[in-house]
Amino acid sequence: MKAAHSVSDLVASGLLSPEAGAAVAGVAERYAVALTPYLLEKLAGAPAGDPLYAQYIPSPEEAYTAPSERADPIGDHAHAPVKGIVHRYPDRVLLKPLHACAVYCRFCFRREMVGPGGEALSPAELEAALDYVRAHPEVWEVVVTGGDPFLLSPRRLAEIVGALAAIGHVGVVRLHTRVPVADPARVTPELAAALKAEGLASWVAVHVNHAAELTQEARAALARLADAGIPLLSQTVLLKGINDDAAVLEALFRALVRNRVKPYYLHHPDLAPGTSHVRPSIAEGQALVKALRGRVSGLCQPTYVLDIPGGHGKAPAAPAWIAEDGTVEDFQGNRHRYEP
């Protein structure tokens, strides 16, 4: 089975009817479409409301851009001193060696920047990006993202990780990826070995939004990384109609922890064009976070965050548990006086 890269491919695979394909043709022209053979197999026969289907199959609702939505919702461009680098926080940078992904999520905050033919850094551009890191001793952590860095070959990944390890002030490299749940066979022992270098702590942040994504194959891919000694984090986007339910999130976070992945961030969806139909309100997100407090342990609790539009960074969006009158709310909704 071949990967799907167009509406016609989705129609041929049976995931869209010809009529449904015609209805999203304009959406697919603007926002990239891609599903791996692995996901095509998993989605075969799935209904339109399936939690995986809704994440990857284009819908007509994406044609609407809300007034508040923007092409660069988190302000990457405002903090890009050289190509491939985003330096928003003093002690860390993003390094974006490529702009391609194995799959294209329908809610992606970089959906205007990634896709087939998306630029990868040339050798000279990558060296210039690394030179920027070398020249800034305050940079302690490098987040390798894109695009999806796990699309790079183990050799190229090892070269990047090795170059970062040679920079004395860099202590941590964090790689962000969707591949373990989108194309798990790609996570080979050779890829896992390529992520490690002496003197550098390597972490992997896996994007997972629903427990249904943690199939036997995905769990095995995560195990290959964890068994190689790589600490795993997760990033989850809160999505209306997909995971905006306390029981659904509970199942996801428990499954992640059971597979040695620490839930790290629960992202409020960014103001990416064409995504208003999957964006709940912050109040709805806060209510879900409150509901989770008594359902799962601290191991299963991510930080609920909002990326401030315009490039001002992330802010915790969690509900307040301590009121102005000094009372503290417990996980059952009862309030108690606290007197220090």
User: pLDDT: is 14 or 120 the higher one?
Assistant: 14
User: Which domain CATH number covers 122?
Assistant: 3.20.20.70
pLDDT band at 340 (very low <50, low <70, confident <90, very high): confident
Q: Are residues 224 and 292 in the same domain?
A: yes
Q: Are residues 59 and 74 in the same domain?
A: no
pLDDT tops 80 at residue 76: yes
Q: Are residues 10 and 75 in the same domain?
A: no
* Residue 31 bears catalytic tag: no
Residue of 30, 50, 76, 92 with catalytic role: 92
Q: Are residues 81 and 148 in the same domain?
A: yes
pLDDT digits (tens, 9 = 90+) for 153-178: 999 999 999 999 999 999 999 999 99
Q: Are residues 94 and 34 in the same domain?
A: no
Residue of 270, 279, 300, 304 with catalytic role: 270
Out of 44, 63, 82, a domain closes at 63
Residue of 88, 96, 111, 219 with catalytic role: 88
Residue of 42, 96, 106, 110 with catalytic role: 110
- Which residue, 177, 264, 265, 174, is CA-closest to 213? 177
Secondary structure letter of residue 184 according to DSSP: G
* Residue 110 bears catalytic tag: yes
pLDDT tops 80 at residue 119: no
* Residue 92 bears catalytic tag: yes
Domain tally, the chain: 2
Residue of 53, 89, 240, 290 with catalytic role: 89
Range of the structural domain that residue 4 is part of: 1-63
* Residue 108 bears catalytic tag: yes
Residue of 72, 108, 111, 174 with catalytic role: 108
pLDDT at 118: 60
Average pLDDT over residues 255-270: 97
- Between CA 303 and CA 267 the distance in angstroms is 8
Out of 63, 85, 112, a domain closes at 63
Out of 11, 34, 63, a domain closes at 63
- Which residue, 131, 125, 132, is CA-closest to 87? 132
Q: Are residues 161 and 280 in the same domain?
A: yes
pLDDT band at 314 (very low <50, low <70, confident <90, very high): very high
Q: Are residues 224 and 242 in the same domain?
A: yes
pLDDT band at 1 (very low <50, low <70, confident <90, very high): confident
* Residue 89 bears catalytic tag: yes
pLDDT band at 117 (very low <50, low <70, confident <90, very high): low
- Between CA 255 and CA 260 the distance in angstroms is 9
Q: Are residues 44 and 169 in the same domain?
A: no
Look-up of token digits 């999520």: 105
pLDDT band at 330 (very low <50, low <70, confident <90, very high): confident
117: left (phi over 0), alpha (psi -120 to 50) or beta: left
State percent of the chain over pLDDT 90. Answer: 83
Secondary structure letter of residue 122 according to DSSP: P
Q: Are residues 109 and 188 in the same domain?
A: yes
pLDDT at 325: 86
pLDDT at 289: 95
Q: What is the mean pLDDT of the chain?
A: 94
Residue of 42, 70, 72, 101 with catalytic role: 101
pLDDT at 186: 98
Q: Are residues 86 and 152 in the same domain?
A: yes
Q: Are residues 114 and 34 in the same domain?
A: no
pLDDT band at 219 (very low <50, low <70, confident <90, very high): very high
Average pLDDT over residues 56-74: 92
pLDDT tops 90 at residue 258: yes
Q: Are residues 1 and 131 in the same domain?
A: no
Residue of 31, 42, 105, 106 with catalytic role: 105
Model-wide pTM > 0.85: yes
Q: What count of Cα atoms within 13 Å lies in the side-chain half-sphere of residue 103?
A: 26
Look-up of token digits 């896996």: 206
Q: Do the Cβ atoms of 61 and 28 come closer than 8 Å?
A: no
Helical packing angle, 246-258 and 282-293, nearest 10°: 60
